[in-house]
Structure 1
Amino acid sequence: MATAAASISELVRGTSVRQVRLVCGVILFCYVISHFLNHALGNISVEAMEAGVYYHTVFWQFLPVSIVFYTAALTHMGLGIYALYQRRQFRWRTIEPLQLVLGLSIPALIMGHVVGVRLGYTLYDHQKLYPQELYLFFVAAPGRLWQMTILLLIAWVHGCIGIYFWLRLKPFFTRAAPYLLAAAVLVPTLSLLGIYQGGRSVAIEADDGEWRTHNLTRRQVGTVAEGNTLDRITGAFTVTYFGLLGLALAARGVRAWRERRGGMIALSYGNGKTVRVPKGLSVLEASLRHNLPHASVCGGRARCSTCRIRVIGDHGVLPEPSQREAFVLTRVGTNDPSIRLACQLRPTSDLSFFQLFTPQTSSANAQASAPARIGQERYLVSLFVDMRGSTQLAEKRLPFDTVFIVNRFLGAVSQAVIENGGQPNQFVGDGMLALFGLTADPQTACRQALKAASGIATHIDELNELLSHDLRQPIRFGIGIHGGEVIIGDIGYRDHIVFTALGDAVNVAARLQDMTKTLACEAIVSDEIRGTAGLADDTLPQQEVAIRGRDEPMAVRVVADARGLTALVDRSERVAA
């Protein structure tokens, strides 16, 4: 129970307002997609639209789903208004204020439709379906068709921007982007065409008096008095909503006035630059306001720690870290109270500090040109391989001959890695780090790494045979394989930046590779890899080893001959199938 409570507490601490808004937005976007696909059935017939809306309403009006949906809608709208109040600087990206404006305009545009359909059903049992709505848009009040078209486009663009911000850092986004773009264009196009085709059919049929008799009854469209009541309710909701927006803007003005009256404080940067800002601004917002370079990969949302600063002097007078800031600092293992997140720290007195991460951009609001290369946390499999005896190899050879042999070794290793779906990542002397899982799930990545180890052994055998006339002893090697959560991204400075992985899993793989010397084997595989790959427990001998930097011993599998790993993986795949 204590462990479960601690896990729940950590989950709550690690949940930000943006994540809540994202979850609510995804729920609403699923509803929008369902509605758009239903509209698209109009390209077949109005009857197809009516048949589709039956299943649409059965799902979305199912009580638990309905509660989740309306909770998400109200929460998303409320957080949008809060974002209008909270956001002080909109210069991080031009698309962000656009998304906010589009999102805030949706409730005002959709209010009449929601009240007319949903509240009309609740209060008066109106049965408004596609024939009645299409009649309204194409015959009774054609001007409302343009309002609905604008609403559909705004809702779709707003949702697509949110999905883009969510998925753009995911490893699969580059491959999925063309398909997502195609869907982003086709779905609203087919939806609008469906509305147009269905509306044309209704407009033609509406000339028939019998059609009007059956489709424009009091039960379906209500009376004039009921319509007036619904219009008044719509007006009241709309005025209330605009009042909330006005209240948020007024609160911004009051906050700015209070900040000016509260006085100015001086922020002194470690490079000698000093700026004066109103109390209440975060350190990162002050940097943005004065266009001072300040590292911030996540844009000031406390999703990373790159904006960290070290406070010079008395840090006891600083405001206590927020729950989110404390979570991030704990996550990165920072216990020093003088280290704070610039995006969260809002000093109330003069402050001197220096940045822990020097920004590589020329302005505070510049962003990396390749978002997919910004640091990401994900599961990868690391394979370290090292050439044995390279020192003795170089003793009695010309330097260029040694380089030739080492390059042939690294070429053979790289070929095996690439053939099995991995990516050669770093070359250090006569060793190499390869990464698996950049484009595959964890189980596949583990199996690919094991097959790559087998392929390395085979390719080195071929290389030894090819160079047998020149080698006194065959080339030997050691391999270490381990998997886990790592950070991947661009590491380096200016023109010397490389894409690589950092984390405990990478370090452990290097340690395992080094242990192959003392254990006299070709490869050591962590039990994490063996289990994730689906290999049976008795396929490889187990041993517990002490890993430098770890308090407890680690279970590993010792592989005397790496050539047999492919057969083991193939066998486990057949059993699983």
Structure 2
Amino acid sequence: MASPSREHLQDLQDLARGVGLRQVRLVTGAIMFAYLISHFLNHALGNISTEALAIGVYYHTEFWQFLPVAITFYSSCLVHTALGIWALYQRREFHWKTIEPLQLTLGLSVPMLIVAHVVGARLGQTLYGQEKLYPQELYTFFISAPNRLWLMLAVLVIAWVHGCIGLYFWLRLRPFFARAAPYLLAAAVLIPTLAMLGIYQGGRATMEDYQDPDWRREELSVQKLGTAAQATTLEKITDRLTIGYLGLLGLVLLARGARALLERRGGMIALSYGNGRTLRVPKGLSVLEASLRYNVPHASVCGGRARCSTCRIRIIGDHAALPEPSPREAFVLHRVGTDDPSIRLACQLRPTADLNFFQLFLPHTMSANAHATHPTRVGQERYLVSMFVDMRGSTQLAEKRLPFDTVFIVNRFLGAVSQAVLEAGGRPNQFIGDGMLALFGLTTDRQVACRQALRAAALIAANIDELNQFLSHDLREPIRFGIGIHGGEVIVGDIGYRDHMVFTALGDAVNVAARLQDMTKALACEAVISDEVRVTAGLADDALPAQEVAIRGRNEPMTVRTVEATRILSALVDDRRAVAA
């Protein structure tokens, strides 16, 4: 058995492998967005009074200029900007959705637009000891140089929209996003609106204060605004920084052109897709970029960011000469449980020689049904609770009855189960013979999903009891059932071909739920529930008997909870709800 230190080291190594440029960009962007929210809320205090603005900026400055925080913030600004410039260079294909190039364009424009404010407020303080706070800035925007006001408002809007787009891309696949989206949208509109209104109200108050000679003498002194010579020096620094930044962007665009030229001169390679189609592409392109450039359909749910594995390909023939997987690619492949060196991510693999492969996922994006009006729901990774329910003894039932009678009873059974699932808040998903897969958590968080699944199991027992009473004159033995429940990360989306597409879930958690349902026969119980579901639902450790079982396809045994009579689950869930209340 590995020592704790070795286990911790392995965990750290796995974490490091999962960290890529996107994760760094996300963290640095979140830090900058936190600063932006703080700044906007400070502006919003102008709706109260200029005194409130002064108090707010004091605490805002105290926090963000605290040395460790300041180092973290300014480092994040530099790293985030550098990653944006790198994205402009690195991305070869711009077959993006409209929102993605918009985000990049807005992000790259912010440094150019904000440089004058940063130089005037921060560098002026560092070089000359100027004390430019709200009175001085509002004087500039509303009295001495009102044209700068519109530039500053544009910067605020651009930076805010850029941050909101990044936040959307980060949260859109989270289970809670659908419920939180209306509140996030309200905040996204309300915060900048209040901030700009606060600037306006502060500007009006400043114009009134400007009529007071004492105010002008106090707030517009040389110590606070600086001299004309100092202003000229700061303007020159601003101009040079702006020109330098624009020059850097120009160099990046030239580098893109030079790279494209070198790739053409460096030779072409053949990509064979395994379906008879072969492309001649320049060296240096990833397989996914080649597919996009030449309009070859290729599955890629995350857009080529190595956040999913839907672009996976299997190499045909020798794969020894291929470049080694990057840490991020290795992490994703390990996450999906493949150690096969012939399986690679098309978005990460940049072959340098001819390559034969085939895609592991069909790149359908729309149903081919001529009557279909809804786009196919592409795969999303999320936490769901899967429940498999199976009718016991259906084979013997069919042997002793006419086929239509058997179908009638099975349909009544599935109807009773489906009604229980719907009443508990779940969704009947697939009907497999006399069994059913139900999903919980499509619109709720994981704790609610686990509790819904347990409540559904109890309702199933009640509904089947009623069904047995209804059919008592026709059944020699009452209908029995088995239930398996497990929760975990799965991929949900439309699966199938053409007009035979169904929405379902795929993943280890679904397979385990099916295995647990099978175990109810050997364990002589009505339900087997994974300990993951029990813990997440908030049930006590002694609420249900525990047992370790071997799961086919898994190396390690799994702790499960057996339920002889699923009716008791309703009381357990209700008791937990009462305790929480």
- In 2: Cα distance, 1:245 partner to 1:54 partner: 36
- In 2: Cα distance, 1:322 partner to 1:88 partner: 18
Residue 527 (structure 2) pairs with residue 527 (structure 1): no
User: SS of 2:567's equivalent?
Assistant: helix
Question: Where in structure 2 are the equivalents of 1:378-527 lying within 5 Å?
Answer: 378-527=382-531
Question: Is the 2:490–2:509 contact (alpha carbons within 8 Å) kept by the matching residues of 1?
Answer: yes
Choose from 86, 110, 122 the match for 2:126: 122
Choose from 304, 308, 311 the match for 1:307: 311
Letter in 2 for 1:176: A
- How big is each residue's C-alpha offset from its partner over 1:322-371, in whole Å with a ceiling of 9 and x where there is no partner? 222222223323333333222222222233332222211489xxxxx989
- In 2: Cα distance, 1:232 partner to 1:372 partner: 55
- How big is each residue's C-alpha offset from its partner over 1:515-567, in whole Å with a ceiling of 9 and x where there is no partner? 22222221222233333333333332333333222334333222222111222
User: SS of 2:490's equivalent?
Assistant: strand
Q: Indicate how the Cα distance of structure 1 residues 434 and 482 shifts in structure 2: closer, same or farther if over 3 A, else same.
A: same
Q: Which residue of 1 aligns with 2:280?
A: 276
Choose from 28, 32, 48 the match for 2:32: 28
- How big is each residue's C-alpha offset from its partner over 1:96-148, in whole Å with a ceiling of 9 and x where there is no partner? 22211111110011011011112222222222111111110110001111111
Choose from 198, 203, 208 the match for 1:199: 203
* Matched pairs, number: 572
Residue 184 (structure 2) pairs with residue 184 (structure 1): no
What is the RMSD of the two structures over their aligned residues, measured on CA atoms?
2.3
Question: Where in structure 2 are the equivalents of 1:124-203 lying within 5 Å?
Answer: 124-203=128-207
Q: CA deviation at 1:485?
A: 2.7
Letter in 1 for 2:349: L
- How big is each residue's C-alpha offset from its partner over 1:426-481, in whole Å with a ceiling of 9 and x where there is no partner? 22122112222333333333222222211111121122223323333222111122
- How big is each residue's C-alpha offset from its partner over 1:153-180, in whole Å with a ceiling of 9 and x where there is no partner? 1111211221222222223323333332
Question: Is the 2:175–2:444 contact (alpha carbons within 8 Å) kept by the matching residues of 1?
Answer: no
Letter in 1 for 2:7: T
**Worse-matched range after superposition: 14-23 or 255-264:** 255-264
Q: CA deviation at 1:573?
A: 4.2
User: SS of 1:562's equivalent?
Assistant: coil
Q: CA deviation at 1:90?
A: 0.7
- In 1: Cα distance, 2:222 partner to 2:343 partner: 68
Choose from 96, 108, 112 the match for 1:108: 112
Letter in 2 for 1:441: D
Letter in 1 for 2:559: A
* Structure 2: stretches of 5+ with no match in the other structure: 368-372
**Worse-matched range after superposition: 329-338 or 247-256:** 329-338
Question: Is the 1:483–1:528 contact (alpha carbons within 8 Å) kept by the matching residues of 2?
Answer: yes
Question: Is the 2:365–2:378 contact (alpha carbons within 8 Å) kept by the matching residues of 1?
Answer: no
- In 1: Cα distance, 2:433 partner to 2:454 partner: 23
Q: Indicate how the Cα distance of structure 1 residues 340 and 198 shifts in structure 2: closer, same or farther if over 3 A, else same.
A: same
**Worse-matched range after superposition: 135-144 or 300-309:** 300-309
User: SS of 1:23's equivalent?
Assistant: helix
User: SS of 2:19's equivalent?
Assistant: coil
TM-score between the two structures when normalised by the length of structure 2 = 0.92
Q: Which residue of 2 aligns with 1:231?
A: 235
- In 1: Cα distance, 2:374 partner to 2:76 partner: 32
Q: Which residue of 2 aligns with 1:329?
A: 333
Q: Which residue of 2 aligns with 1:266?
A: 270
TM-score between the two structures when normalised by the length of structure 1 = 0.93
- How big is each residue's C-alpha offset from its partner over 1:13-49, in whole Å with a ceiling of 9 and x where there is no partner? 1112112112211221121122122222222222222
- In 2: Cα distance, 1:92 partner to 1:380 partner: 29
Q: CA deviation at 1:387?
A: 1.3
* Structure 1: stretches of 5+ with no match in the other structure: 364-368
Q: Indicate how the Cα distance of structure 1 residues 384 and 152 shifts in structure 2: closer, same or farther if over 3 A, else same.
A: same
Q: Which residue of 2 aligns with 1:245?
A: 249
Q: Indicate how the Cα distance of structure 1 residues 356 and 445 shifts in structure 2: closer, same or farther if over 3 A, else same.
A: closer
- In 2: Cα distance, 1:448 partner to 1:355 partner: 38
Question: Is the 1:293–1:362 contact (alpha carbons within 8 Å) kept by the matching residues of 2?
Answer: no
- In 2: Cα distance, 1:274 partner to 1:545 partner: 49
- In 1: Cα distance, 2:543 partner to 2:343 partner: 48
- The share of aligned pairs that are identical, in percent, is 74
User: SS of 1:164's equivalent?
Assistant: helix
Residue 332 (structure 2) pairs with residue 338 (structure 1): no
